[in-house]
């Protein structure tokens, strides 16, 4: 039975639309309804305390609906540091051997997996088995088969599986998607996605096939793939792809340095994309329709995102992507809200199907059909 105080709180909350960040409507951040009606908080344990985890956790200090309450790490010194920074009690700290124990911990609702790509699959299965929601970094897995198993495991456990696609909540991205959906660009004909950077240290896990599942495509090329899908608004049905390798020592067998690829969509729209670990200043989207265009550069970096269309500049206010993402994901998990551009397991899986097809097209040199089976 709910208390009178709770009841009054709920009535009041649902009657007032509380502005989110800097007076911007929640709609622009990718949810179909206001996300901030409910004051409950998603209690999140972070798994893997590396560079992106630090960025996420720092951004979460400004969250209204999500909070770092636990950590899972193999490095005791990092755990100590995080305990101090985020006020995490000993009972919410785990390592990779004992983290199944989270199942009995009411301080943890969800685990955000921010480890090397190949670990996402086994770690998701264990978190789901512990009955906790999973937020998993991109790429969700290293192939479509593993992605499917993750979806099934979370479904079976009755927990959410969300993929860390922060751009799906970014204001410029959402405005361009709105314009395209409402016909302001006319029928879409072409998308260009350029995603890459020059990678440094040759010993890092990103250049180790066992841990990365590939090279640039898994890490950065996935932004062009995912962007092609949400910008065009269709799922591609064929791909052609070409690989170029200038440094076979740094980029060993199975670790792609540069791949250009082309996608075809059911409407006849086409995309031309580049994924690379060997070029800087490569973060650009261009979308072309019969009635207009949209361009973004940078398009998927940490921001501010810069964008313009045939109508002029957009440049909507910058909000730290991971803050918005985690508040919105909390609203999805706690209140059942839906994202405008999905971030669920199926969304992550489609990117993995396309990556599998790109690798196949590189191998065969032929146009490969993309089958979502
Ligand atoms: P990182 O190397 O900085 O951190 C990885 C962490 O995993 C480290 O703390 C490391 O100790 C830990 N780890 C656990 N088991 C390990 C093992 N067996 N081998 C190596 N490290 C192990 O990497 P990162 O940049 O934080 O990337 C982590 C994940 O986050 C990747 O999947 C990456 O694609 C994703 N990521 C996403 C974004 C984004 O914008 N969404 C940005 C950066 C990284």
pLDDT for 38 equals 52
pLDDT for 30 equals 56
In a domain, 316, yes or no: no
Residue 228 CA to ligand 1 centre (angstroms): 25
Q: Which atom of ligand 1 is nearest to the CA of 78?
A: 9
Q: Are residues 132 and 195 in the same domain?
A: no
Q: Are residues 111 and 229 in the same domain?
A: no
What CATH number is given to the structural domain containing 213?
A: 3.30.360.10
In a domain, 175, yes or no: no
In a domain, 62, yes or no: yes
Does any ligand 1 atom lie closer than 6 A to the CB of residue 115? Answer: yes
What CATH number is given to the structural domain containing 76?
A: 3.40.50.720
In total, how many domains does the chain have?
2
Query: Tokens 């790109």 correspond to what residue?
Result: 358
Nearest to 209 by CA among 149, 248, 243, 251: 251
pLDDT for 39 equals 65
Q: Are residues 57 and 146 in the same domain?
A: yes
Q: Which atom of ligand 1 is nearest to the CA of 205?
A: 20
Nearest to 35 by CA among 243, 323, 246, 332: 332
For 341-360, b/e burial (b = at least 16 CB within 10 A) is: bbbbbebbbbbbbbbbbbbe
Q: Are residues 194 and 271 in the same domain?
A: yes
Q: Are residues 159 and 53 in the same domain?
A: yes
Candidate from 50, 163, 323 with most ligand 1 atoms within 8 A of CB, to mutate: 50
The rounded distance, in Å, linking the Cα atoms of 163 and 302 is: 17
Stated pTM of the model: 0.92
Sorted by sequence, the CB contacts under 8 Å of residue 266 that are 6+ apart come out as 234, 235, 237
In a domain, 17, yes or no: no
Q: Are residues 349 and 203 in the same domain?
A: yes
Please measure the distance between the N-terminal and C-terminal CA atoms of the chain and give it in whole angstroms. 45
Domain edge (last residue) among 99, 128, 163: 163
Quote the tokens at residue 167: 């751009």
For residue 299, say if its preceding peptide bond is cis, omega within 30 degrees of 0. Answer: no
Residue 206 CA to ligand 1 centre (angstroms): 9
Does any ligand 1 atom lie closer than 6 A to the CB of residue 300? Answer: no
The rounded distance, in Å, linking the Cα atoms of 96 and 75 is: 10
The rounded distance, in Å, linking the Cα atoms of 7 and 133 is: 27
Is the distance from CB of 52 to CB of 117 less than 8 angstroms?
Answer: no
Per-residue pLDDT at 166 exceeds 90: yes
CA 61 to chain CA mean position, Å: 19
Q: What is the 3-state secondary structure (H, E, C) of 124-154?
A: HHHHHHCCCEEEECCCCCCCHHHHHHHHHHH
Quote the tokens at residue 366: 């032929």
Q: What is the residue range of 110's domain?
A: 38-163
Closest-CA residue, ligand 1 atom 38, reads 52
pLDDT for 36 equals 44
pLDDT tens sequence across 197-243: 999 999 999 999 999 999 999 999 999 999 999 999 999 999 999 99
Q: Are residues 263 and 362 in the same domain?
A: yes
Q: Are residues 101 and 155 in the same domain?
A: yes
Query: Tokens 């105080």 correspond to what residue?
Result: 5
In a domain, 296, yes or no: no
pLDDT for 15 equals 30
- Catalytic-residue membership of 96: no
Pairing, β 238-244 against β 368-369: antiparallel
Does any ligand 1 atom lie closer than 6 A to the CB of residue 53? Answer: yes
Quote the tokens at residue 269: 């729209």
Q: Are residues 153 and 237 in the same domain?
A: no
Q: Are residues 255 and 354 in the same domain?
A: yes
pLDDT tens sequence across 58-87: 999 999 999 999 999 999 999 999 999 999
Quote the tokens at residue 10: 């709920």
DSSP states along 268-289:
S-EEEEEEESS-SSEEEEEEEE
Question: Helix or strand or coil: residue 320?
Answer: coil
The rounded distance, in Å, linking the Cα atoms of 234 and 322 is: 26
pLDDT-above-70 percentage for the chain: 90
Give φ, ψ of 79 to 5 degrees: -60, -45
Tell me the residue length of the chain.
Answer: 373
- What average pLDDT does the segment 336-341 reach? 97
Q: Are residues 231 and 347 in the same domain?
A: yes
Is the distance from CB of 38 to CB of 6 less than 8 angstroms?
Answer: no
pLDDT tens sequence across 92-137: 999 999 999 999 999 999 999 999 999 999 999 999 999 999 999 9
Nearest to 303 by CA among 325, 318, 322, 323: 318
The rounded mean pLDDT for the chain is 92
In a domain, 134, yes or no: yes
Per-residue pLDDT at 274 exceeds 90: yes
In a domain, 264, yes or no: yes
Q: Are residues 211 and 146 in the same domain?
A: no
Extended strands (E) in 114-220: 133-136, 161-163, 188-196
In a domain, 124, yes or no: yes
- Catalytic-residue membership of 138: yes
Is the distance from CB of 349 to CB of 340 less than 8 angstroms?
Answer: no
The rounded distance, in Å, linking the Cα atoms of 232 and 270 is: 9
Residue 365 CA to ligand 1 centre (angstroms): 32
């Amino acid at each position: 039975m709910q208390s009178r105080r709770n009841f009054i709180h709920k009535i009041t909350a649902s009657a007032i639309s509380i502005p989110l960040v800097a007076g911007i409507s929640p709609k622009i951040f990718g949810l179909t309804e206001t996300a901030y009606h409910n004051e409950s908080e998603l209690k999140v344990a972070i798994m893997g305390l590396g560079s992106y985890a630090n960025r996420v956790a720092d951004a979460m200090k400004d969250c209204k609906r999500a909070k770092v309450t636990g950590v899972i790490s193999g490095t005791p010194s990092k755990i100590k540091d995080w305990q101090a920074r985020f006020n995490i009690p000993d009972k919410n700290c785990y390592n990779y051997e004992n983290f199944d124990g989270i199942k009995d911990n009411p301080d943890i609702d969800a685990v955000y997996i921010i480890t090397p790509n190949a670990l996402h699959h086994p770690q998701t299965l264990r978190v789901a088995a512990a009955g906790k929601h999973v937020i998993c970094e991109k790429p969700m897995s290293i192939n479509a088969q593993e992605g499917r198993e993750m979806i099934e495991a979370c479904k079976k456990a009755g927990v959410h599986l969300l993929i860390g696609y922060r751009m799906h909540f970014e204001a410029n991205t959402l405005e361009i998607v709105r314009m395209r959906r409402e016909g302001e660009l006319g029928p879409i004909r072409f998308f260009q996605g350029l995603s890459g950077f020059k990678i440094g240290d040759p010993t890092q896990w990103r250049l180790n096939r066992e841990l990365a599942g590939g090279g640039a495509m898994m890490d950065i090329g996935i932004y062009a793939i995912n962007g092609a899908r949400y910008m065009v608004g269709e799922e591609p049905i064929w791909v052609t792809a070409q690989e170029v390798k200038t440094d076979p020592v740094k980029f060993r067998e199975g670790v792609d340095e540069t791949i250009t690829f082309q996608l075809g969509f059911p409407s006849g729209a086409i995309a031309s994309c580049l994924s690379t670990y060997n070029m800087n200043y490569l973060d650009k989207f261009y979308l072309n329709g019969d009635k207009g265009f949209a361009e973004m550069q940078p398009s998927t970096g940490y921001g501010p995102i810069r964008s313009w269309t045939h109508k002029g500049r957009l440049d909507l206010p910058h909000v730290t992507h991971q803050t918005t993402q985690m508040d919105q994901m909390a609203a999805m998990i706690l209140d059942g809200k839906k994202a405008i551009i999905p971030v669920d397991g199926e969304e992550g899986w489609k990117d993995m199907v396309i990556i599998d097809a790109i690798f196949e097209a590189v191998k065969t040199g032929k146009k490969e059909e993309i089958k979502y089976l």
